[in-house]
Amino acid sequence: MKNQEITVFYKWTAQPGKLDELKAIYAEVLKEMEANEPGTLKMATYFADEENAIYVHDLFKDGGALGMHLGVTAAKHFPQLAEIAIPGPFFFCGDVPEELMQAAQGMKMGAEFGTYAFGFERD
């Protein structure tokens, strides 16, 4: 069976003095994703204080789960985030449906896409 999971890695760089606000918004995003997005398998946020940035790693079950995230949680928070931080780049890894690729590109967040080539996973 073909793996339909989609991994997204991305960065937000806060404007000067806005890193704590960015962290607070992402704490809320985490809560909403965990409570309302059963197709989100993983969400991990990393702080890079010296870069005034955060890095995020999301893992979605499939294109439907990614679409739900982009259409609900991301759409809700993106305007507020864009006021205090610079988005991108955003790397989408996996078989992202064409309509979601177009939606991500339309958000002007430096979206790049890669399809799975090879690798392994351990338990």
Which residues, 6+ apart, have CB-to-CB distance to 81 below 8 Å? 12, 22, 25, 87
Please report the pLDDT score of residue 120 as a whole number: 87
Residues 63-85 as b/e (b if ≥16 CB within 10 A, e otherwise) read bebbbbbbeebbeeeeeebeeeb
Please report the pLDDT score of residue 107 as a whole number: 83
> Residues 42-94: pLDDT tens digits?
999 999 999 999 999 999 999 999 999 999 999 999 999 999 999 999 999 99
Evaluate whether residue 122 is within a structural domain.
no
Q: How many domains does the chain have?
A: 1
Mean pLDDT for the chain overall: 93
In which domain, by residue range, is 40 found?
6-114
Which residues, 6+ apart, have CB-to-CB distance to 97 below 8 Å? 63, 67
- How confident is the model over 2-25, as a mean pLDDT? 94
Evaluate whether residue 14 is within a structural domain.
yes
Which residues, 6+ apart, have CB-to-CB distance to 17 below 8 Å? none
Evaluate whether residue 120 is within a structural domain.
no
- Spatial distance between the Cα atoms of 25 and 41, rounded to a whole number of angstroms: 20
Evaluate whether residue 26 is within a structural domain.
yes
Sign of CA dihedral 115, 23, 103, 108: negative
Give the CATH number, domain containing residue 37. 3.30.70.100
CB 55 within 8 A of CB 9: yes
